[in-house]
Amino acid sequence: MTRTLTRRVTVSLAVLGLTAGAAVSTAAATPSAQAAPVTVNLTVTGPASVLFDDQVTTDGGVVSPLTETAQLCDGTNFGANPTAGATPTTALNDSGLDWDGIWYTSFEDYLVTEIDGVVQTDSDFWLISVNGQATPVGGCQFLVEDGDDVEFVWTGY
């Protein structure tokens, strides 16, 4: 009787462990819940003129550059924030402008390399700022709020 009871308890614990492990694995593999949309003022300034200047409604989600694989970009990238939300890169993605970037797995973020046909060079790049301040992290890690001024500005070294 004791041997049977021990075996049942062991099997039950093993099944519970597998079930709990599967639940944790599923939660880790599932992208963050979609964040509520926010409306930001997006300005994209190229080397010679303003390429875009309008409000964009955006939320955290998957973004799709021209040549790279689509990736989740919701502010939780690289553990930057505990909850998902809209980001500068999702605002750019939702603007309708063509853009491209290099995905860095080690940072879970893009380096934006092209917007509307304007491609970075050895001495010029796209700087991201929010409310007049350069973002201290990448565009998929920085959360924006309703009414924020988001800028992608062509900048030289």
Answer for the pair 54, 42: CB distance below 8 angstroms, yes or no.
yes
Q: Judge contact between 113 and 101, C-beta under 8 A.
A: yes
Q: Rounded to an integer, what distance in angstroms lies between the CA atom of residue 127 and that of residue 107?
A: 17
* Bridge partner residues of 114 (DSSP): 100, 119
The stretches of 40-129 forming alpha helices (DSSP H) are: 88-94
pTM of the prediction?
A: 0.79
Q: What is the C-alpha to C-alpha distance for residues 149 and 53, in angstroms, rounded to an integer? A: 10
At residue 33 the predicted structure's pLDDT band, cuts being 50, 70 and 90, is: low
Predicted pLDDT at 157:
87
